[in-house]
Structures are given as structure tokens and as C-alpha cells.
């Protein structure tokens, strides 16, 4: 919109296009609710107060607030494309997301990132991208692509790219690894987001000194407060597996609330459709005693300020008309959503038809050397390292336990919740298979397999017997990616994810039903986890403590090295 025209409209010389009358405006800058009309021209708010307009909408005293902003999300974790993701989150008031597409980048590199851009084009949500900094996350995994500094430099000129995404390889930063520091240098004039679980003291000082500005991995107030004091913006995360909202809300005070935002990170369709998105975090925070105006500010202005998105996040003249309308300040449930001045959602549904998935073709990505896949393990010693899955956490325990043996082979023991786990390299058909044991998944029989395994997204399998593990793994490959539950030689449930082995082209409601079926099947086999597939997907992420498994073997994250399975 031409600046001269904007000024003329704001002065009332020219009439507005749309006037939202009788609103109670949530002013996140002054911290008050002010009765006012709001005038809009094209995508911009031109003023508050009395204006002439071609069209008037009477809000009849409803609250009007800025659209919500998710400060950090991996859209691929919703198992659908950005256009379908928008169908789930926009009706719940999210108008902007800041995404790190490192899931698909670890499979398809720049090709995958461009697919995400194409799918989001002309949609109802503003999708900003942070250039993926860790593809692969570390050298202790095999991914489908490698993005170096010069690859990321090619993204920097894109107006939808805001900076460098979460720098997960925090040991490399602390050790001044030149390749990682080169990526930070490229984006040192932009925002660089962090990922520093459990990092403290001088290591944290070094991490922050490198220019890293935020963290979403804190799990306690003490951890988050140390980071906040050093200048980091804290993203409070509430996703499907990692749920830190209750633990971190006591951090928020009137003095520091401006340095705290909300994010979902990884959230599956059932949670998005049943509970909501950032609106769910806002309602939950208010329900836990946070001032409604502070909660809404954390979901709007604070995120916009962190990412230097100066055109949104508040209801003031000149800013984008990304707006939500709701009726209860203590439990905001958007019934109208505007993006750029256009009504895009009403009463929980998008306005308009479902957009088709991007026509950009993606190559097949399930490349497995099956002749080399063998889940048998020789029992070299009586005891082995065991990954301890912890409910509602990405952190795992590093356990050591007695392993049952049969004819010299190690075997799982479901009666003690001790299952086999394998990670099969699926990008280059190298035949690499990492093997280990896990406790906390809870299967009594059968197996789970998935091509969603953060962040390398190799084929991860957990089971009570080798036959079930092989059945589930082979079926995932036949589907060109997906999630499978098997019992013996029989496939019990499946979720096809043929787009990079991460996403489905189907509507989000269809994918949700498939995921629900797979989770129910896993529960029937004994798992009591809320979402065992999401929990399983993070057991292969070797940048979050304490013990993880990749295709290259067991990783002790504290020591940041591959360690033997068997111990003395």
C-alpha cells in the first residue's frame, strides 16, 4: 500500500474499506482493553476510532486482539503440508508461524525447503522460515542431505527468511567449530535461534556470546532464568511430547514478561484439532493464573518483536490487520480470524475451499539395503546401556540393565518393559543399522516403525520380537514412508506419509483419523503413552540428553560421542 494513500486514509480523507465497530481492543502495548472501532484498508489497519467505511462489521462488544504468532515450529511434525497445517491452526487464531523446515531439509535438502515454500504460497497463514542450521544435526547420524554455509546463504535474500534456525549442535558452538560458526557469521545481522538443553555456566556464556538469541529447550525455571539473564528470549514450549508450560510459567513476572514467547515446536494433528494451537497455550496460561493481557502479549507482540516483524503483533495504525475476535478474555477462543484485512476463518473453519497440495514433485526417499537389515544382537555381556523414555519429555535417561539371553543372542523382555530398538539408514541404502534397547514405551507384544525420526528421519523400529519389527519396517518402506503397527506377520494399523516419509497429501482430518488408529493399535499392544509414535521419533535425536540411538549407534549426549551398547 502506497505510503501517501495510507496517510490519507488514516487522516480520514479517504474512506476505509472495512470498519470493525464496537470492539474491545486488546492493546498489547499499553496493557489495557480499550473500546474502539478499527478501520482497515487493504491489508493494513489505518486507524482506531470513528471512520467512514465502505463496509461495516459490528462486533457487538467482542474482544479484538492481534493474530497469534508461533515463535518456533516444525510444520512437518503435524504430518501434513503447510496448506493443510493452516487449515488446522488459522481457525484457532494463528496468523503467523516461524518455522524451521529442518525435518524435510534433513531428507531432501534445499529441494524440501522449496516444497514447503510452494505449499504455503497464497495460503491463509504467514509462514516465515528460519534457515535450517543443522542438516545434519551432528556427524553421529546419516541424513539425506547436507546444508553448508553457502547453501544457507542462497536462502538469505528471500524476504520470508528471517534468520538462522535453532543451532542444535551446541557442543560445536562451544568448541568453536569453524563450520558451525561460519553459518552463524552469515546470519549475524539477523536473528539466530538456539537449542541448548541443560547447557549452563561458561558453556552457556560461550553459546550466547556467539550471537544466539533464544532458547526453547528449558525445562525448569532455574534453567530458563539463567538463559534469560544472559540475554536470551525464552520460548515456552507446549507440544505433543515436550510440555514445559506448567514448569516454566512461574518464570514469568511483570519485569521480564516482555522476553518470553510461546511456541509449539512439534505438534500432531490430534492435539491441534482437539486442543488448539497457540490459543491453547494462552488459555492454559490464563487458567494457571497469568494475566490475560500478558498471555496475549506473549503470543503476539513479544514474538513479533523478537523476530523484528515490525508490521504485526499489535493493533495500531499502519500494522497488518492480522486480527482475532473472541468473546471471553479469560478463555480466548477465536470465532473470527482476519489475515491482512480479509476474513479467513469463521467459527472454527477456514473460509473458502481446501487448497490443493503443491504440484512440486518430490523424489522417493525410502532407500534401504534390506539384505543388511538384521535385528539380532549377540549378547556380548550380561548388561547393556538402555534408553529410558520419559513421558512428556524429549530428555531420556541413560540406564544400565541386565539383558535376557537366548542361545547367545540378546532378546527383549516386555515383562520388564525392555524392548529392542533399531534405526535403519534409509537415505542412501548404506545398510547401516543402529541397535539398542529402550524402556518406557510399554509394548507387551508387537512393534512400531516410523520414517519420522528426528532429525535424520531414518527408519526407527521398536518391538517385542524380531518378526513384528521386520513386518512393520518393511511396510513403512512399501508405503514410501509412514507409521506402522504390526503384530507378528500382520500389519495392524498404518499412516502413509509418502512426502519425504514425513507428510501426507491428505486432509488433516484424514491424517488425524489414521494417526488415532495407529495410536489406538499401539495402546492395544500395551503402550500407555499419550502418543508413542511421537515419543519414539525423538529417541533418535542425539542433541538432547541423555542417551539416544542413531543408525551409527548409541550416543551419550553428555559426552557427545558414540558409546558401546554393552558394559562391564
Residue 253's pLDDT band, with cuts at 50, 70 and 90, is very high
CA distances from 203 to 98, 168, 175, 197, 236 (A): 27, 14, 9, 12, 22
Residue range 519-530: average pLDDT? 96
pLDDT-based confidence at 157, cuts 50/70/90? very high
The per-residue pLDDT for range 163-195, each reduced to its tens digit, is 999 999 999 999 999 999 999 999 999 999 999
Question: Taking the mean position of all CA atoms in its chain, how far away is CA 193?
Answer: 14
pLDDT band at 353 (very low <50, low <70, confident <90, very high): confident
Pairing verdict, β 459-463 and 482-487: unpaired
3-class DSSP state of 412: coil
Confidence of residue 352 (pLDDT cuts 50, 70, 90): confident
Please report the pLDDT score of residue 94 as a whole number.
98
Look at residue 380 in the predicted model and tell me its pLDDT.
Answer: 95
pTM: 0.93
Domain ranges in the chain with CATH number 3.20.20.140: 72-288
What's the whole-number mean pLDDT along residues 216-228?
97
User: Closest Cα partner for 493 from 466, 507, 475, 469?
Assistant: 475
Q: Is the pLDDT of residue 360 over 80?
A: no
* CA 472-473-477 angle, 5° bins: 115
**pLDDT bucket at 99, cuts 50 / 70 / 90:** very high
CATH topology of domain 72-288: TIM Barrel (3.20.20)
Please give the mean pLDDT across all residues of the chain: 96
**pLDDT value for 51:** 97
* Mean pLDDT confidence for 329-336: 98
- Asked if pLDDT for residue 357 goes beyond 70, the answer is no
Alpha-carbon dihedral angle through residues 508, 513, 516, 517, given to the nearest 10 degrees? -140
Per residue in 272-298, pLDDT (tens digit) is 999 999 999 999 999 999 999 999 999
Mean local confidence (pLDDT), 533-560 = 95
Residue 241: pLDDT over 90: no
Tell me the pLDDT tens digit for each residue of 377-404. 999 999 999 999 999 888 999 999 999 9
Amino acid at each position: 500500500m502506497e505510503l501517501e494513500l495510507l496517510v490519507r486514509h488514516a487522516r480520514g480523507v479517504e474512506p476505509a474499506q472495512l470498519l470493525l465497530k464496537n470492539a474491545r481492543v486488546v492493546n498489547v502495548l499499553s496493557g489495557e482493553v480499550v473500546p474502539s472501532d478499527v478501520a482497515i484498508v487493504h491489508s493494513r489497519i489505518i486507524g482506531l476510532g470513528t471512520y467512514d467505511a465502505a463496509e461495516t462489521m459490528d462486533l457487538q462488544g467482542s474482544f479484538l486482539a492481534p493474530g497469534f504468532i508461533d515463535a518456533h515450529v516444525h510444520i512437518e511434525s503435524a504430518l501434513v503440508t503447510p496448506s493443510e497445517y493452516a487449515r488446522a491452526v488459522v481457525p484457532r487464531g494463528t496468523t503467523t508461524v516461524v518455522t524451521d523446515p529442518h525435518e524435510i531439509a534433513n531428507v531432501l535438502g534445499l529441494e524440501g525447503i522449496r516444497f514447503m515454500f510452494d505449499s504455503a504460497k497464497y495460503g491463509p497463514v504467514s509462514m516465515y522460515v528460519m534457515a535450517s542450521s543443522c542438516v545434519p544435526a551432528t556427524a553421529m547420524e546419516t541424513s539425506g542431505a547436507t546444508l553448508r554455509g553457502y547453501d544457507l546463504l542462497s536462502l538469505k535474500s528471500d524476504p520470508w527468511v528471517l534468520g538462522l534456525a535453532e543451532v542444535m549442535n551446541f557442543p560445536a558452538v562451544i568448541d568453536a567449530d569453524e563450520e558451525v560458526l561460519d553459518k552463524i557469521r552469515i546470519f549475524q545481522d539477523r536473528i539466530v535461534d538456539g537449542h541448548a538443553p541443560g547447557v549452563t555456566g561458561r558453556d552457556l556464556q560461550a553459546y550466547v556470546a556467539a550471537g544466539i538469541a533464544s532458547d526453547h529447550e528449558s525445562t525448569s525455571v532455574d534453567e530458563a532464568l539463567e538463559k534469560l539473564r544472559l540475554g536470551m528470549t525464552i520460548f515456552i514450549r507446549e507440544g505433543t511430547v515436550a510440555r514445559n508450560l506448567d514448569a516454566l510459567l512461574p518464570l514469568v513476572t511483570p519485569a521480564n514478561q516482555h522476553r518470553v514467547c510461546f511456541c509449539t515446536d512439534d505438534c500432531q494433528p490430534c492435539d491441534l484439532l482437539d486442543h488448539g494451537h497457540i490459543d491453547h497455550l494462552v488459555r492454559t496460561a490464563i487458567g494457571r493464573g497469568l494475566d490475560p493481557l500478558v498471555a496475549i502479549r506473549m503470543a503476539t507482540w513479544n514474538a513479533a518483536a523478537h523476530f523484528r516483524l515490525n508490521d504485526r503483533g499489535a493493533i495500531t495504525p499502519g500494522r497488518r490487520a492480522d486480527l482475532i475476535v473472541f468473546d471471553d478474555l479469560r478463555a480466548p477462543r477465536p470465532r473470527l480470524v482476519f489475515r491482512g484485512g480479509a476474513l479467513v476463518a469463521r467459527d472454527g473453519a477456514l473460509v473458502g475451499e481446501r487448497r490443493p497440495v503443491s504440484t512440486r514433485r518430490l523424489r522417493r526417499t525410502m532407500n534401504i539395503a534390506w539384505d543388511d537389515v538384521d535385528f539380532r544382537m549377540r549378547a556380548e555381556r550380561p548388561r547393556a546401556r538402555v534408553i529410558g523414555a520419559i513421558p512428556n519429555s524429549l530428555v531420556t535417561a541413560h540406564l544400565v540393565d541386565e539383558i535376557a539371553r537366548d542361545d547367545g543372542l540378546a532378546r527383549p523382555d516386555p515383562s520388564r518393559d525392555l524392548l529392542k530398538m533399531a534405526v535403519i539408514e534409509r537415505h542412501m541404502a548404506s545398510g547401516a543399522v543402529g541397535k539398542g534397547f529402550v524402556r518406557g514405551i510399554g509394548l507387551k507384544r508387537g512393534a512400531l516403525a516410523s520414517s519420522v525420526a528426528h532429525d535424520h528421519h531414518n527408519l526407527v523400529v521398536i518391538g517385542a520380537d524380531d518378526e513384528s519389527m521386520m513386518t512393520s519396517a518393511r511396510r513403512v518402506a512399501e508405503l514410501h514412508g509412514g507409521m506402522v503397527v504390526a503384530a507378528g506377520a500382520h500389519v495392524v494399523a498404518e499412516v502413509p506419509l509418502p512426502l519425504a516419509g514425513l507428510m501426507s497429501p491428505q486432509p488433516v482430518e484424514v491424517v488425524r483419523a489414521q494417526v488415532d488408529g495407529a495410536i489406538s493399535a499401539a495402546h492395544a499392544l500395551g503402550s500407555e503413552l499419550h502418543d508413542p509414535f511421537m515419543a519414539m521419533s525423538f529417541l533418535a535425536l542425539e542433541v538432547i540428553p541423555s542417551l539416544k540411538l542413531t543408525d551409527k549407534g548409541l550416543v551419550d549426549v553428555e559426552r557427545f560421542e558414540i558409546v558401546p551398547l554393552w558394559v562391564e
